[in-house]
Amino acid sequence: MNHALPKNESVNIIRNGGVNKKFYITTPLYYVNSAPHIGHSYTNIAADVLARFHRQLGEDVYFLTGTDEHGQKIAKSAQDAGLSEKVFADKMVSVFIELWKSLDISYDDFIRTTEERHILTVKNALNTLYENEDIYLESYEGWYCTPCETFWTDLQVQSAGLCPDCLRPVEKLSEKNFFFRLSKYQGWLIGYIENHRDFIKPLSRYNEVLSFLKRYKLNDLCISRPRARLGWGIDIPFSKEHVTYVWFDALINYISAVGFSYDEAKFKRYWPADLHLIGKDILRQHAIYWPIILRALNLEPPKMIFAHGWWMTGQDKMSKSRGNVIDPLRLVKEYGIDGYRYFLLRDVPFGLDGNFSDEAIIKRKNSDLANDLGNLVHRSLTMVEKYLSGRLPQARELAQSQLKEDSDNLAADVGMAIQRIDFTAALDKIWLIINQANKFIEETKPWNLLKEKKSEEMDSFILLLVEIIKNVSSALSSFMPSTTKNIQEQFSGPIIKKGIPLFPRT
């Protein structure tokens, strides 16, 4: 895949990057048991914006996404579809890949947990942990939730006999399994988190993990499943009777994709990851299990884990099991790729939950996109056509004004907000300029400049507008890649000609 920015695109952002800096960003691996919905697309769109932004800074970006293909959930769905697990997974993977294409997701690598490079790495990691006696065999009895593939204690299940996560019935299971010594590293993890304030974001999640770790003693993690009960998993190299628990398998993807155990140079280049972007539902696995697994393997933890909120319908999390999912492809068809991308990152501060509704997206599209941005571009192009016969005036030094200053600072302001992973603040800044520019047109009354034959003023007026639009479009390009490319093209020919409106009203 070629994700390079167009050569001539002006990279108008604070250059705090540089070719030697790398940026390794990951999304969760999505379960292939069902088709992706808004929630899955949210993580990938956010990761895509960050990846594009860091590429714009000139960094060597490695953007990883992929699919989680082992475990009971997938085995069950394959069985229901009358297919083998692998054939079923192959089919579903193409649905994910198609969706990412439709959403302009510029990933550099797509990892499947059924790939050889991953299986090899999982076995390698298991062997190391086993040799170091961080893994041991023990009989275990507990309440098991099949859909969540999680054991719960009496206390967690309580008298209702329901899974505390998904509220479905659990069953009592007793079996011999391999356990990973999470508890041994609890003290280390607490210290690490205390000394690294940016390790878990946002702050509310940082506090949540830290207070959990301080309040409860960690149980060791069951990392195997008996083959007799569940065969669809990676073989445990030191036991014929067991396969690997799907969560242990899946987390390892973050190192298997960048070469751990088979490409030392690549691994050295990209590990530790700069950012694991996840939803808050999988914080425990990423902020507790994963750093401890890495520690036991003598590897560095990722630099940052950011957990975003949930898209809800009404009071409920959007999820397949709740039957309230919305297909992103329908939204792309109705509101355009960039309309959809913009809405997800603008409407709800990243980190909080948000309510999805068609009304909300229509409102954003008609007001922010069609009215504000679309109008600014359209009116400016119209004026160049009408007042200047489509020719941009000769470039010249423009007089200082508050608007010019704000526009000059836009790249830096937006850059800082994106570095903080605060998408709404970045977009707010951009829209502030767009709205100021629209006001500037109304206040300047260019039709009067024309009547009074003030051609110098007219030229400066148009040049400032064009400069603002270029800055806006550069700052917006990670969020709305195809719209901003379109804007840049409309302003780049020798004769400026306006195309069809960017955002037809819905």
Cα separation, 192 vs 212, whole angstroms: 14
Burial readout 410-430 (b: 16 or more C-beta within 10 A, e: otherwise): bbebbbebbeebbbbbbbebb
Side chain identity at residue 156, one-letter code: Q
Binding flag, residue 311, ligand MSP (CB under 6 A): yes
Taking the least distance from each CB to ligand MSP, the nearer of 153 and 321 is 321
Min CB(147)–ligand MSP separation in Å: 11
Which residues does 208 contact at the CB level (< 8 Å), separation at least 6? 283
Binding flag, residue 31, ligand MSP (CB under 6 A): yes
Find the helix or strand (DSSP H, E) in which 355 lies.
strand 354-355
Cα separation, 505 vs 396, whole angstroms: 36
Binding flag, residue 39, ligand MSP (CB under 6 A): yes
Binding flag, residue 278, ligand MSP (CB under 6 A): yes
Binding flag, residue 134, ligand MSP (CB under 6 A): no
Helices (H), 59-153: 72-81, 85-102, 116-131
Taking the least distance from each CB to ligand MSP, the nearer of 44 and 471 is 44
Side chain identity at residue 396, one-letter code: R
Min CB(262)–ligand MSP separation in Å: 19
Taking the least distance from each CB to ligand MSP, the nearer of 206 and 350 is 350
Question: How far, CA to CA in Å, does 209 sit from each of 114, 305, 441?
Answer: 31, 12, 50
The footprint of ligand MSP on residues 215-274 (CB under 6 A) is 250-251, 253
Taking the least distance from each CB to ligand MSP, the nearer of 250 and 469 is 250
Find the helix or strand (DSSP H, E) in which 25 lies.
strand 22-31
Taking the least distance from each CB to ligand MSP, the nearer of 31 and 461 is 31
Total residue count of the chain as it appears in this document: 506
Min CB(220)–ligand MSP separation in Å: 20
Binding flag, residue 78, ligand MSP (CB under 6 A): no
Question: Site for ligand MSP (CB under 6 A): how many residues?
Answer: 21
Q: Looking at 12, 13, 17, 30, which residue binds ligand MSP (CB under 6 A)?
A: 30
Taking the least distance from each CB to ligand MSP, the nearer of 257 and 502 is 257
Q: Which residue has the tokens 């299940």?
A: 157
Cα separation, 332 vs 379, whole angstroms: 26
Binding flag, residue 76, ligand MSP (CB under 6 A): no
Binding flag, residue 109, ligand MSP (CB under 6 A): no
Binding flag, residue 68, ligand MSP (CB under 6 A): yes
Backbone angles phi, psi at 175, to 5 degrees: -160, 165
Check: CB of residue 20 under 8 Å from CB of residue 60.
yes
Q: Looking at 13, 24, 25, 28, which residue binds ligand MSP (CB under 6 A)?
A: 28
Q: Which residues bind ligand MSP (CB under 6 A)?
A: 28-31, 39-40, 42-43, 68, 250-251, 253, 278-279, 281-282, 310-311, 317-319
